Amino acid sequence: MSRKIFHELHAALMCADPDAKCSQVAALWRDWQAGVVFDRSAGPPHHIPDAGRPERPELVEPSALRSRRMGSREGHGAMIHAICHIEFTAINLALDAAWRFRELPDDYRGDWLRVAADEARHFGLLRTHLRTLGYDYGDFPAHAGLWDMACRTAHDALIRMALVPRVLEARGLDATPPIMAKLRTIGDQAALGILDIVLTDEITHVAIGDRWFRQLCAQRGLPPEPTFLRLFNEFDAPRLQPPVNEKARLEAGFSADEIATLAAERRAPPGAG
């Protein structure tokens, strides 16, 4: 029986059980690497208002998330849970990127299958660690807005590459070192080891998005960095929050001038420009 790649990507994307989703992604990536021949035929992609996820955690607006002291057991668990949720959502974002934009070549699909597999591995490591703290995924409320950008960019691969890897994932490059510093103060060596893996992999993920963004810009005769800044403002993307991890961003494909421009956007008053 012929295996249909877009059918299997969609099945993994819509799977609500985290363990089953991670297993499906890992198996699909292994088979892709092994050169399994997949049928590429499929109808056009459709709108997905929400990807597959468990009933818990409860999803809320960022303003509704309660701040907890990192030194407390609850605060420690909440921090690991928040990162765990980001990695779970990142699995869905990568799967959707691979499933949705069918006009792009197999190299593109392979890149995003690799990213999905990495994110599934990160989620598994973090969930296992969370359980050692006496909690599990779903025990704390979580951020509701991460999937929103996937919905807003579903019509155009260039815009998706600009605003998911080069904005949402790139924010993780900035946020991870300060989180690691906090975890270092409470002696969580296991979490530090996991986040070191996550940060290294996320540089690669942002670089993948950067490469495809620049390729799509070249195909359309668009200058990459001015186009990114236009989309960044047009979609009211989240601004940079200091400290900016310039070294990681440079490794991922940002230029020094682009980082400086984005930092200036952060400092500009509302309505300025």
Residue 44, in any domain of the structure: no
Residue 198, in any domain of the structure: yes
CA–CA separation, 174 and 246 (whole Å): 8
User: Contact, 32 vs 110, CB < 8 A?
Assistant: yes
How many structural domains does the chain have?
1
Residue 233, in any domain of the structure: yes
Residue 165: which CATH number?
Answer: 1.20.1260.10
pLDDT one digit per residue (tens) for the chain, 273 residues? 578 999 999 999 999 999 999 999 999 999 999 999 999 888 899 999 999 999 999 988 877 777 777 778 999 999 999 999 999 999 999 999 999 999 999 999 999 999 999 999 999 999 999 999 999 999 999 987 889 999 999 999 999 999 999 999 999 999 999 999 999 999 999 999 999 999 999 999 999 999 999 999 999 999 999 999 999 999 999 999 899 999 999 999 999 999 999 988 764 433 333
What local confidence, expressed as pLDDT, does residue 266 receive? 60
Two structure tokens written together for 117 = 């597999």
Residue 272, in any domain of the structure: no
- What's 74-110 look like in SS3? HHHHHHHHHHHHHHHHHHHHHHHHHHHCCCCCHHHHH
Residue 54, in any domain of the structure: no
Enclosing domain of residue 135: 5-36+64-267
Residue 51, in any domain of the structure: no
Residue 43, in any domain of the structure: no
What local confidence, expressed as pLDDT, does residue 66 receive? 75
Residue 74, in any domain of the structure: yes
Q: What are the beta bridge partners of residue 60?
A: 143
User: Contact, 175 vs 234, CB < 8 A?
Assistant: no
What local confidence, expressed as pLDDT, does residue 270 receive? 35
- What's 211-222 look like in SS3? HHHHHHHHHHCC
CA–CA separation, 43 and 48 (whole Å): 15
Q: How many angstroms separate the first and last alpha carbons of the chain? A: 58
